[in-house]
Amino acid sequence: MTRTAIVTGAARGIGAATAIRLAAEGHAVGVLDLDEAACADTVSAITEACGRAIAVGANVADGAAVAAAVARVAEELGAPTILVNNAGIIRDNLLFKMSEDDWDAVLGVHLRGAFLMSREVQKHQVEAGWGRIVNLSSTSALGNRGQANYSAAKAGMQGFTKTLAIELGRYGVTANAIAPGFIVSDMTRATAERMGVSFDEFVGHMVADIPVARAGEPGDIANAVAFFCSEAAGFVSGQVLYVAGGPKA
């Protein structure tokens, strides 16, 4: 069945791969990012494959912007019943160097953004009696040096997910989280730059600790999202899936 999905942070990386994959599954997709123009490539990839998509610019940490964005998707593509909360930023630093602004910015985009988007979209899901929410966590939820803000946000995303599953399950809505491991992306390139090493060197170092002996790609995460959003996953809710090339807990 064709549904309408919203994917946040969908201009590039995991978000773009997820939007394209959900469109390939037959869903219309609201491609949402802070900069609407930056979504053009993702929308083009979908429409050139005969899918339906629109670009939507919105700051997910702004309640009014979120409400307007969801309303626009509903008007142009149909009521959204699939939501992928992928939008995220990093402001890495050791605790004693981390500013309050860097803490607030990361918690705002990840956690406040997921809260605002979920609260707005669940209205359409409850009305439809069907819905899928997938939140992007991270292996950093287990702790990662220099990422107190990001780790806290990604751990919080897991608790948020489990609570959504409890509250919304009776309305036919599932909520699950995916915790990616090392994924080749603009974000991990930025981490390498912050550390002062080449990206190839950084990838080699990270892959050395991955049992399947390769780095993850955005498509690896999109595959997991597609499962959680499928009809087949209707009895799977409140789960955290580590997609990391090996066991994490």
Q: Which residues are catalytic?
A: 150
Separation CA 164–CA 194 (nearest Å): 35
155, amino acid identity: A
CB-CB contact of 6 with 114 (8 Å): no
CB-CB contact of 53 with 26 (8 Å): no
CB-CB contact of 120 with 67 (8 Å): yes
Separation CA 35–CA 105 (nearest Å): 17
CB-CB contact of 175 with 135 (8 Å): yes
CB-CB contact of 18 with 225 (8 Å): yes
